[in-house]
Structure 1
Amino acid sequence: MASVLLQSNTPSSSRGMGFCSMKRKRDDVENPANSAKSKCKCDLSYDLYMLGAIGYSLPISYEATNDFQRYDFVQDEWTPLVNSTMGLRRTGFAVATRELQIWVLGGYEEDGEGRAVSDVHMYNTETNEWDIKNRMLHARGDFCAAFVSGKLYAIGGRKSKRSRGKIAVEEYAVGEWIYSSPMRFPRYDFAACAVGNQIIVAGGVSNKRGDAYVRQIETFDTLSSNWEVVGRTLTFGRRSFTLVHVNDRVYAVGGDAERSVIWNNSSVSGNWSDPITTARDVSSYDAFALNGEIYIVGKNADDIGSFRKLRWTDRGWVVLEHPYFPWRGGLQIAIVPNGRGGDAENAKRLRPSS
């Protein structure tokens, strides 16, 4: 995934984004199947945030952008927000959410060198303001971040686009970063998700060339600070995918090696089964979970944005009418409560950049 760290929603503040909202235009999608799309029934007490992208411009560009937008399911519109890092474009950053906060960590500077940074910024969705937090102990990109039991963890990754994977783990609590127990296996461009007090880590690669897949699945107990290897399976010979936890199962969505299949299991074991075919015509997609449902965001073969939900009855995918997603790859999705009510637990999705 791609790009950047961001800033406040002030219409007059910066870099050509002097407007308050961008209404979704159905006519923008030149897709004859639009009329058959289903309405999205996402929980209206959440807003969807889209951070970073590759290819979001006209004409299409394959460079990273510093794009940041919020989607309101009630008003059915996008609101562009402003970059907080003076236009600096980044790839390979990590995102973690806590209550009304979106934390954006690390990533690579788009300066041609591919160096990782250690910056940490926090966006408050209630005040629309950014706050600069203490830097991580190590610069890293293509890594994962997770909030568990009030602590923020930065896991794995690498220090540049030409270096090996890391085993290092850092923990942020009471305003400071400290070292935590390292993983057993170095990896970057992997996936992770939080389940209770545990963090599950799977997939990724370890060497400089990016062709040495890490097949071991590890879990981190945040109470004991111990890592345990729970399985080794060919299922996770993949990178650039997403892990989501839904209905007591963990789903591995997409990836470069198994782009068209989701695998799941009913525990934290390494026994993965039940392949589910994804939308084969959708690529460069990300996935997130909300209230027991799995959604994917990506682009169709004809470079049109796609938004779909898994239909559990027949394990197929239904195309949703909104929100309209423009063509883009390399994005990060954050789901945050919007204060309109509802007691649903804040959905968390974790994914490294690709």
Structure 2
Amino acid sequence: MKLTISLTFLLTLVSARTLTQQKARRSPTTHRTLGRREVPQEHSHEKFLTLTGAALNLDNPDEIADPVFGLLGNAAAIKGAGKITDADCLQQATADQAFTNAKAAGAVDGMVAALVYRTLERNTGSVGLASVLCTSITPVNPEIAALTQHQDPASAGAAATNKAIALELAVQIDSVGGDPQVALQSGTFAPGEIGDPTGAGNTCDTLDDPEGCIFTENLLVEDATAAEIAAAVAAGSGAAAVGEDAAAGNGTAVDAGAGAAAGNGTEAAAGDGAAAGDAAAGDAAAAGDVEEVLSETDLDANTVLRLTKITKAAAAAADGAAAADGAAAADGAAAGKGKKVKAKGKKNNNN
């Protein structure tokens, strides 16, 4: 049986950090070095930084000061990068080492935290500016290699990109035995206003909130639905045909709903079936745009292909569920009308 290190144990490890590391994590001078930039948000998902830091400190050969540095802009990040010379790769390197350590210890919580940490949005120079992806270092762990960081929600194509990242994260969390729905907690904030001279956006950065202010202040914008997460996990687990089967299921469900409605002579039921079909078609078209959006990022071709497949499969499965629900509701309405007519007939016979 796989040994799972408890959350309490990992938190205990955190308390053993050196004074230097703790000062680096909490020092107010960290933010003063950033100049004009997007308002700090590196502590918004604090609980994942805490667990990642605990796992990292089990073995830290690159002498990375603290996971928080990986979420800062390059000028500040490099000051806590240790032996990592590419600041754009510090977040990835931190996550990779933390994941390695947690895996060796059998700590599922630590592995999940490292995966989530890898996908958190980094601070950038202004609202709407996307952060640079790491290209100079290849992760040791394929689970980390499959992931990139969320982008500023106001940047071009961010909605599609961030959704694809969250769905891939769910697949990787599931692969290590974690709850894939935790991937929704990797989301970022509502988009800020591009050109805002304050760089304020809609962020928070509370230092003494162990949970993370994005959660306690209810600022998290989830990238996907629970159904899409479940569908992405199914698709990413090797069921490549899930998307196609779900899409075929959509047509069957809608047709069945419309047919049942017509058989009952219920125009409203037919309308419901058609509406469900239209919604599914619209979502499918939107999913089809994902590849185009991702292709315009710095992601490599294989990553774009995988993220596109997972996103489309999730959309197809979600549409299938929606269409089936619509058809069931339509059939239920038609059946209800049929029972009502039959009841009237019995009443007339008794008279």
TM-score interval (norm. to shorter): under 0.3
Report the structure number with the largest CA radius of gyration: 2
For CA contacts below 8 A with separation 6 or more, give which structure has more relative contact order. 1
* Larger proportion of helix: 2
State the TM-score, normalized to the length of structure 1. 0.26
State the TM-score, normalized to the length of structure 2. 0.27
